[in-house]
């Protein structure tokens, strides 16, 4: 029943999409500047139908309708209702439906919120966006249909991967999707802009809010994924340069570059084609990321089943998208003679863009290189954190200095900065670094420079907040949070402690300044898993403070999986992070203990960073 309803709604959405494209072409032929009322109505109907379609699937998950193969494979009657619902988008087919929701809703919102812009530009955007929607709807219907039925109907489902039963991971995909699927709207708008010659300031204004909102969500999405990796994967790290993580970071670099180049386009009417390229690049990278993740050509901690036919479809779609956009861009490209003074704000923004492109290319190379070597020479290699850390870290130092100075420089004018002030701030930053190394611990030269440059950015951004008559709080919050983020990552990296040892029940072990005692082990039965819970007391010998951590070994029933749950005690100064794993044929348990300073501040910095984005969105909406 739900299978038929779902398929019917999918077909109806395809019909509406065709109708919108057809009506839009008809509308283009009319000379007046009015968009047909019917287009608004069908767009609304299209979004509503897709939403109902999605909720039909959510409903199927909630009532555990195992006649749908998708529900059967990804759910279980014993699963808590929250995870039943999040199971909807925790798999390939359901998540594609979420894709289409964002594509259609953004399409509709763009149509109704850009009434001040010319008809042809809006209609062309709508046509291109709907071609994208059509592509994905066909993909869902013929290749990845979440409404495929199974007969006879199984009595019980196969459960959701227990690693994915996590609140952070339940909200991670929707956040990330608003980010990178949202970038589709400025891909379409950029194509429409080139086709209709609608360039310059007005174009920048029409897409700015969309770039900011997708950037803010992308930032939050990456953060939530990172938090999940931190406490679920049990390695104690928060960023692994895993190919799938990189796939979410690549569009973020392009978005960040675009966000800044739009400022120049809006203010000075230059860098138009560059902004267009960034618009096209952002969504292209998003689809490339999806291709890499879903086709299974990359090995990663993320589990999406490998199905080559999916890969072929996304790759064909991606190729079409790329060649269509390159063709239009080449056909319409006109070289411009942009005059930029070397010491103006636009130069600094351009420098920001170069840095972003540098990071983007580095991460892209690192991610694709193993695929290339495997395809060309059958050589299986893997590019790990050492590559990224050694290439990216030194460049971050210079980047932070430019990021601090850029906002102080004026538009257009070739005016020299007040070097005395800058020197004072640098002296302050060096002093902060000196205090840290003198009183706590010394670290490598690169780390010294990272701390100095991040403190330099923090201080100069804070000073900006007091100086200017017209303060842009959104920018200040984002820049200063970014400074804090790098600062805390630097300290966390240098001050983390990690201990690895074996312990059996009742045993006490002294390591450095700590005493560890495994006081108790108990077995607890839960609805869908049972857990061996350890009680480990950590006594800090210098302060005499005792803390109890309770790591778990969980045994899930459906499917049978063993997971190790870290026990984490967080405060404003540090995280105590402990995992316990059993050792075969022995009564010893392997204990991994980490003390990670200022962990919570890394999360707070990223939340503030995206908060800056939301603030900027509100500010921009008010101005327009």
Residues that bind another protein (CB under 8 A): 69, 72-73, 150, 152, 154, 158, 291, 295-297, 306, 308, 311-312, 315, 318-319, 322-323, 326, 330, 335, 368, 371-372, 374-376, 558-559
Nearer to another protein, 317 or 577 (CB): 317
DSSP annotation string for 17-73: HHHHHHHHHHHHHS-SSPPPHHHHHHHHHHHHHHHHHHHHHHHHHHTT-TTBHHHHH
Smallest distance from another protein to CB 377, Å: 12
Smallest distance from another protein to CB 321, Å: 11
Nearer to another protein, 374 or 498 (CB): 374
Distance CA 373, CA 315 (A): 19
Nearer to another protein, 373 or 539 (CB): 373
3-state secondary structure 455-485: HHHHHHHHHHHHHCCCCCHHHHHHHHHHHHH
Smallest distance from another protein to CB 623, Å: 36
Smallest distance from another protein to CB 361, Å: 12
Nearer to another protein, 333 or 440 (CB): 333
Nearer to another protein, 374 or 421 (CB): 374
Under a CB-based contact definition with an 8 Å cutoff, are residues 503 and 509 in contact?
yes
Smallest distance from another protein to CB 229, Å: 25
Under a CB-based contact definition with an 8 Å cutoff, are residues 611 and 220 in contact?
no
Nearer to another protein, 118 or 311 (CB): 311
Nearer to another protein, 297 or 533 (CB): 297
Alpha-carbon distances of 44 from 49, 106, 141, 146, 541, rounded to whole Å: 9, 11, 21, 23, 65
Q: Rounded to 5 degrees, what angle do the CA atoms 291, 292, 298 make?
A: 155
Nearer to another protein, 323 or 440 (CB): 323
- Token match 């839960």: residue? 526
Smallest distance from another protein to CB 330, Å: 6
Distance CA 78, CA 510 (A): 42
Smallest distance from another protein to CB 307, Å: 9
DSSP annotation string for 517-582: EEEEEEEEE-SSEEEEEEEEEEEETTTTEEEEE--EEEEETTTTEEEEE-EEEE-SSEEEEEEEEE
In eight-state DSSP terms, residue 412 is S
Smallest distance from another protein to CB 304, Å: 13
């Amino acid at each position: 029943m739900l299978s038929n309803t779902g398929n019917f709604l999918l077909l109806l959405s395809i019909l509406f999409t065709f109708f919108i494209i057809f009506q839009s072409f008809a509308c283009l032929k009319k000379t007046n500047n009015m968009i047909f009322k019917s287009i608004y109505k069908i767009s609304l109907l299209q979004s509503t139908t897709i939403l109902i379609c999605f909720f039909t699937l959510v409903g199927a998950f909630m009532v555990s309708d195992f006649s749908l193969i998708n529900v059967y494979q990804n759910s279980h009657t014993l699963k808590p209702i929250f995870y039943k619902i999040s199971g909807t988008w925790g798999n390939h087919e359901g998540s594609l439906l979420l894709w289409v929701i964002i594509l259609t809703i953004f399409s509709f919102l763009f149509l109704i919120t850009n009434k001040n812009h010319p008809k042809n530009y809006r209609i062309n955007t709508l046509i291109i966006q709907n071609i994208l929607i059509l592509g994905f709807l066909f993909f869902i219907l013929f290749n990845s249909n979440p409404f495929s039925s199974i007969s006879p109907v199984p009595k019980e489902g196969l459960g959701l991967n227990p690693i994915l039963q996590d609140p952070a991971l339940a909200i991670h995909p929707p956040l990330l999707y608003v980010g990178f699927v949202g970038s589709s709207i400025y891909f379409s708008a950029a194509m429409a802009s080139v086709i209709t010659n609608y360039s310059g300031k007005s174009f920048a204004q029409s897409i700015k809010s969309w770039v900011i909102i997708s950037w803010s969500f992308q930032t939050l999405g990456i953060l939530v994924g990172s938090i999940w990796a931190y406490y679920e994967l049990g390695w104690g790290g928060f960023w692994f340069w895993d190919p799938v993580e990189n796939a979410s970071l690549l569009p973020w670099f392009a978005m960040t570059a675009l966000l800044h180049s739009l400022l120049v386009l809006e203010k000075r009417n230059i860098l138009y084609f560059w902004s267009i390229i960034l618009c096209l690049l952002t969504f292209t990278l998003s689809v490339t990321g999806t291709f890499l993740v879903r086709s299974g050509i990359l090995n990663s901690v993320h589990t999406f089943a490998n199905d080559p036919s999916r890969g072929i479809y996304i790759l064909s779609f991606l190729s079409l998208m790329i060649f269509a956009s390159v063709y239009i861009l080449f056909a319409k490209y006109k070289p411009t003679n942009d005059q930029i003074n070397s010491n103006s704000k636009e130069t600094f923004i351009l420098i920001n863009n170069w840095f972003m492109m540098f990071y983007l290319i580095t991460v892209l190379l690192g991610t694709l290189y193993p695929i290339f070597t495997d395809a060309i020479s059958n050589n299986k290699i893997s590019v790990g954190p050492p590559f990224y850390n050694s290439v990216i870290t030194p460049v971050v130092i210079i980047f932070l200095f430019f990021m601090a100075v850029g906002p102080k420089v004026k538009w257009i004018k070739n005016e020299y900065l007040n070097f005395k002030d800058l020197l004072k701030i640098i002296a302050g930053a060096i002093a902060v670094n000196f205090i840290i190394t003198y009183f706590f611990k010394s670290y490598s030269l690169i780390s010294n420079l990272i701390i100095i440059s991040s403190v330099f950015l923090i201080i100069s951004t804070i000073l900006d907040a007091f100086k200017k008559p017209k303060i842009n709080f959104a920018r200040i919050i984002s820049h200063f949070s970014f400074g804090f983020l790098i600062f805390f990552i630097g300290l966390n990296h240098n001050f983390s402690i990690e201990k690895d040892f074996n312990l059996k029940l009742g045993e006490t072990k002294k390591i450095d300044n700590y005493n560890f005692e495994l006081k108790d082990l108990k077995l607890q039965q839960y609805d869908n898993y049972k857990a061996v819970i350890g009680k480990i007391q950590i006594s800090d010998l210098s302060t005499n403070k005792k803390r109890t951590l309770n790591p778990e070994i969980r045994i899930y029933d459906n499917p049978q999986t063993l997971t190790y749950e870290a026990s984490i005690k967080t405060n404003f100064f540090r995280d105590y992070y402990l995992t316990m794993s059993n050792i075969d044929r022995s009564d010893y348990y392997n204990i991994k203990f980490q003390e990670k300073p200022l962990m919570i501040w890394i999360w707070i910095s990223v939340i503030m960073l995206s908060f800056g984005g939301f603030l900027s969105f509100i500010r921009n909406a008010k101005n327009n």
